[in-house]
């Protein structure tokens, strides 16, 4: 055999050897990749199955919350008026008043309520005085005696007169918790008293 | 004969190294992909575990429904006790 032929054969064998070695190594790596991807796909499948109901649930939650928002905004519209409603929402959630106006189908500037909503404060004050709200005007005398209005509540305490000291001149303790149950002091409004009170206010 | 030797030289000095370089490149890319997949596996497992709390959304949905229902009841009461504008 001629030397040139031998060299050619050696070169071809080298090429084939390189191909075999590297391609076998690539095949082994690809098998590792396949095994890794199988493990990853298992976790990805878990992600897909776990996140599948999210859309429906979140849409349902949004629907419920939207219904609640509409309800409260409607109530706010009715009780405070459209202008004040947007302003009140704006005062609590800056920037949200414009959205309220938009939902009302209106445009323009949101009313500036500031920190105190006078009309709401008046209504709350009237609630505190047990005024039959909605039945009477805001003006006029209080329907309950402001001085003795807490007598019924104070009668629930062991010492209605107020804090007492264990020894003369010692620190006075805060009133104890109301005694309820079998040892509760006699007195207080009964159901008939409440019904009579409601009749009085109604 | 001279051409044969020239062909042999080209084969040994050019073609064999080029083939080796190309195959090494493919092997390196495959190894890099394998490392990326290995790094991806714990991330996917952690993401799947993070989504375990999604089941609680059903509870959240029920709570929201109940809360909205309670708010609706309070709204009715407020509608009664508060004056309209």
A145-160 per-position pLDDT tens digit: 555 555 555 555 556 5
Question: Which residues in chain B have their CB less than 8 angstroms from residue A79's CB?
Answer: 78-79, 82-85
- When comparing pLDDT for A144 and B26, which is higher? B26
* pLDDT band, very low/low/confident/very high, at A134 (cuts 50, 70, 90): very low
Q: How far apart are CA B23 and CA A158, in angstroms?
A: 94
Indicate whether B46 pLDDT > 70: yes
What pLDDT score was predicted for residue A139? 55
Q: Please count the CA atoms within 13 angstroms of the CA of A147 that sit on its side-chain side.
A: 0
What pLDDT score was predicted for residue A198? 42
What pLDDT score was predicted for residue B17? 92
Mean pLDDT of A79-99: 85
Nearest to B71 among A60, A68, A80 (CB): A68
Question: Which residues in chain B have their CB less than 8 angstroms from residue A53's CB?
Answer: 54, 57-58
**B residues 4-63 closer than 8 Å to A (CB):** 4-5, 7-8, 11-12, 15-16, 19-20, 23-24, 26-27, 30-31, 33-34, 37-38, 40-41, 44-45, 47-48, 51-52, 54-55, 57-58, 60-61
Indicate whether A186 pLDDT > 90: no
Q: How far apart are CA A36 and CA B45, in angstroms?
A: 12
End-to-end CA distance of chain B: 111
Q: Tell me: the pLDDT tens digits for A51-65?
A: 998 999 999 999 999
3-state secondary structure of A168: coil
Q: How far apart are CA B73 and CA B23, in angstroms?
A: 74
B37 and A36 in contact (C-beta within 8 Å)? yes
Compute the Cα dihedral for A33, A38, A43, A49 and give only its sign: positive
Q: Which of A123-137, A156-170, B59-73 has the highest mean pLDDT?
A: B59-73
A172 and A164 in contact (C-beta within 8 Å)? yes
Indicate whether B33 pLDDT > 60: yes
- Residue A133 Cα distances to A127, A163, B37, angstroms: 7, 34, 69
What pLDDT score was predicted for residue A163? 62
Q: How far apart are CA A142 and CA A126, in angstroms?
A: 8
Question: Which residues in chain B have their CB less than 8 angstroms from residue A84's CB?
Answer: 85
Tallying the residues shown for chain B, one arrives at: 85
Q: How far apart are CA A112 and CA A134, in angstroms?
A: 26
What pLDDT score was predicted for residue A21? 94
Q: How far apart are CA A153 and CA A156, in angstroms?
A: 6
B66 and A64 in contact (C-beta within 8 Å)? no
Partner-chain contact A36 B81, CB within 8 Å: no
Question: Which residues in chain A have their CB less than 8 angstroms from residue B79's CB?
Answer: 75, 78-79
Mean pLDDT of A31-38: 93
Q: Please count the CA atoms within 13 angstroms of the CA of A164 that sit on its side-chain side.
A: 8
Q: How far apart are CA A103 and CA A101, in angstroms?
A: 5
Long-range CB contact pairs, A165-174, < 8 A, 24+ = none
What pLDDT score was predicted for residue A156? 56
pTM: 0.53
Indicate whether A17 pLDDT > 90: yes
Provide the mean pLDDT of chain B. 89
């Amino acid at each position: 055999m001629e030397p040139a032929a031998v060299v050619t054969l050696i070169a071809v064998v080298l090429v084939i050897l390189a191909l075999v070695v590297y391609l076998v190594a690539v095949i082994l790596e690809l098998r590792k990749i396949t095994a890794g991807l199988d493990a990853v796909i298992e976790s990805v499948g878990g992600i897909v199955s776990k996140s599948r109901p999210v859309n429906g649930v979140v849409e349902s939650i949004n629907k419920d919350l939207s219904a609640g928002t509409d309800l409260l905004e409607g109530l706010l519209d009715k009780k405070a008026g459209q202008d004040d409603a947007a302003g009140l929402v704006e005062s609590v959630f800056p920037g949200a008043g414009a959205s309220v106006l938009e939902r009302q189908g209106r445009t323009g500037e949101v009313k500036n309520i500031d920190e105190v909503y006078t009309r709401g404060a008046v209504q709350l004050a009237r609630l505190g005085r047990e005024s039959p709200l909605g039945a009477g005007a805001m003006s006029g005398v209080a329907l309950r005696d402001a001085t003795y209005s807490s007598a019924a509540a104070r009668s629930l305490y062991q010492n209605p007169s107020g804090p007492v000291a264990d020894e003369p001149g010692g620190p006075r303790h805060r009133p104890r918790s109301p005694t309820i149950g079998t040892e509760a002091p006699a007195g207080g409004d009964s159901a008939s008293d409440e019904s009579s009170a409601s009749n009085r206010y109604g | 004969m001279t051409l044969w030797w020239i062909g042999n030289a080209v084969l040994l000095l050019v073609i064999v190294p080029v083939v080796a370089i190309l195959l090494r490149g493919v092997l390196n890319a495959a190894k890099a992909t394998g490392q990326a997949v290995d790094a991806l596996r714990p991330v996917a497992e952690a993401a799947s575990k993070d989504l375990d709390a999604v089941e609680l959304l059903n509870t959240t949905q029920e709570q929201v429904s109940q809360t909205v229902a309670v708010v609706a009841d309070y709204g009715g009461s407020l509608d009664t006790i508060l004056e309209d504008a």
